[in-house]
Every structure is written in structure tokens, then in C-alpha cells.
Structure 1
Amino acid sequence: MDSSTTATDLWNRVTGTQPHPSLWLVLVTGVIALAAVTPHRVWRVTRNAITIAHEGGHALVALLSGRRLDGIRLHSDTSGLTVSRGRPTGLGMVLTAAAGYPAASLLGLAGAALLSAGHITALLWGATALLAAMLVMIRNAYGALTVVLAGAAFFLVSWLAGPQVQAAFAYGVVWFLLLGGVRPAFELQRKRRHGGAPDSDADQLARLTNVPPVVWLGLFHVVALCSLAGGGRWLLGR
């Protein structure tokens, strides 16, 4: 088998469609994802995945808006920091600051669209590629370890697992992004109510735009809940 044949087979494997899983598998993975988001002790661990999406959202939009990305840090307390250079005000800075909280939900919505079209393997490989690209910009050991483990999980499942395992993993991840994307905005709202998080994304956006933080919080809520509703319908085949 020559290299061109191998490359063609690989491309067809990635871009091809796979059969939709049964409804029970979709429902079970949704319940498992909900169990990974709801209990506080579990959420303290699983929230790391949402932080990866959050900081990745900041980083991607910073690059797309013409800013220079200096690096990303992920911390064991599930916080993170993305540093970029450019104008301290203006549309690019606003978009960069606004991209974090909606990122997980929008990724989940995009994933649900792929799964509804039967592109399970494409989703797994796409996630692996995004994590590999993000790894280049990670600037601390904990962040690098987190991203490597996440990327390895996607790669191994996509390369070694059978169709049913791939489907279960992909649907579980997308459910988790959709459900997990809802909780951080409520957590931020609660912190602000008690006088915490003075430098949150919503507060930074308020300083950049003179639009009250509560409006930005409302936007985060709307994006998360609408993504959950729309993505959930796609996942359930409705």
C-alpha cells in the first residue's frame, strides 16, 4: 500500500459519516455528562475541561482579531489566564474579552451539529487538532499536562476505539460542553453578588464598553442556554 492510498483512506475515515447511535446511548451519555457537572466535588475536577475551552476561546478570538497571543496558563483551581498584546481598547479587545464564557457552549453547539450530520470521527480529530494547537501556547506545567491528557484521550478514542465507543465518547463530550457551559456564568453571578471577581470578564467588558456587567452576564446566560436548547435538540435527533 503506497502513501497516497494510506492518506486517502485516512482522509475518508475522518471526513466520512458514521451511523447515528441509538437514542438510549444518547440519553445515557447526557445523564453521565449531567452527573459530571452537577455535584460540586465532581465539578471541581471536571471544570478543568471548561476552563480549557474558556481560555481557548479567548486565544482564538485574540488571534482572529489581529492581536498577538503571548500565552495561556491553566491552574489547578480551574482558573486560567490568556495574555495577548495589541490595542488595550477597541473591537478586537472587546471580542477577545467576550469570547471566554460562551466558548464551551458554542463548541458544544458546533459539536452537536457535527454529530447530527454523522461526523463522529471528524469531531474527535478536530478536537485533537485544536488541543494540539493550544498546547503550543501553554506556558505552565499544569496547563500542559491537562491539555496533553485531554488531547491523548481524543486521539486514542478516535484511533483505537470501535464505532460504539467513539459515539459514546463524542456524545458525552458534547453533552458535557453544553451542560458545563451553563454553570460558569451562574457562578460568576453569585461571586459578583457577594462582592467577588472584580476583574471578571464581565467587569472588563463593562470598562471597555460602558455597558453594565449585568448586561454582559445576561449575554453569557443567553448564549449558554440557547446553545443547550439547540444542541440538545440536535443530539436527540429532533
Structure 2
Amino acid sequence: MASGALPVVWVIVLAVRRGLRRRRAAGVGGAEPPPPPHGGRPGLSGRRRLVKAVFDRLVAAAALVVLAPLLAAVAVAVRASGPGPALSRQRRVGRDGAEFTILRFRTTHRRAEARRVELTGDARGELFRVRRDPRVTPLGALLRRYSIDELPQLVNVLRGDMSLVGPRPPLPEEVARHGDGVRGRPALRPGMTGLWQVSGRPDLSWEESVRLDLRYVENWSLTLDLRILWRTWAAVARGAGAY
């Protein structure tokens, strides 16, 4: 399987190198290029969508193999930290409005969702994240700080529910409440990371995260994905905005 994947990887590498040369020649240096001069529905089709899908699955499969010992150790530690499963599951909205189950390592005590109502007054906007959340276990706080709790989403990428980079995967109630304001976001699969992740993480408002999602969808390129992945490592290492 590894030898069969080499030609595909080499084609992707060549495409990325050509893209970097074109972007340097055009003077584009940032991770957020200017918006395109045309309107219409943002998204990908044909070869570009295939390249992104192949890249996502190859990287996700390789990462799962390399990280298998870490994933197993974290799963055992989560189970030992208190009652409850190692993984938590939550419904999110993906491409074209289809719902899917997103996977994460469990970082909260049991019955955490029941306590969410009590904390609503401390939540900011639609992105329900609370600093010093009393529902989070000590181990869960560590996993969240370095985004280790999100590693099981590599399985979502391998299944085709998500991409490595893409729009933020919204909750169904967020889409129902702001459907008119998120038009264009479903044109790509949601990502494990994205412009929203490297530009403030949960410190962004709902409107700011939607704006970044639309900007990403309208300006997608494999080079942009690689730059966002690179910036994600730096943000995760600093624990910037993670709680």
C-alpha cells in the first residue's frame, strides 16, 4: 500500500511546489489571501476536490499509524480518570448540511451536558466555551490545552466526514439559528483546524469565525492548507486560546 501511494504523494508535492512558486511570483505571503473578484457559490470541484480528499486521507492514515501508541495510552488514562467512556460523541453539521458524529477524547465529568444549562450565563455567544469550566477533569484540561482530545477526529477524516483543514464544524442548533449567515460554509467538509483555529480559536466571536470560514472556502488551495497546518502546530504548542 505504501509503494502504491508514493506516486500520488509525489504528484501532490509537485503541485504544492508549483503553487508556492506561483504565489511567490504574485506576491502573496500571508495565510489569508485577498477575496476573489467574483461571486458565486464557493467550493471545489473535479481535480481540486480529489487532490484535497486524497491528501486528507493519506495524512490521516499515516498520522493514525504513527500516533497509535499515544492514542491508546490516552484512552486508558481517560478511562482511569473517572467513570465514563474514553471517547465522547457529538452531532455536528458537515458538507451540504449532512450531520455526522464527531469524535473526541472525553474531557469532562459524567452528566456534563446536564450542567451546561447552569453555565449558560458564563458562555460567550454561540461558541460554548467557558474558562475554568468546572465540568472539565484535570486530565481533560491538559488534553484540551494541547488539543490532544481532538486527535480521534483523524478517524472522521479517514471516514470522509471531515478534512484536516476546513470550516469549523458547527452544532446543528447553530446552523438552525444562523442559517442565512453561514451560506457557503457547507461547500467544503469541516476541518480539524482552519483559519478559525489559528486566528484566535475560542476567543473569536461567532461572526468572526463565520467570516474566516467563508474566506477560507472562497480561497482554498493546497498551499493554504499546508500553511494553516504549520501555523496550527505553533498555536497548539503555545496552548493559545485553548481551554
TM-score (norm 2): 0.26
Which structure has more helix as a fraction of its residues?
1
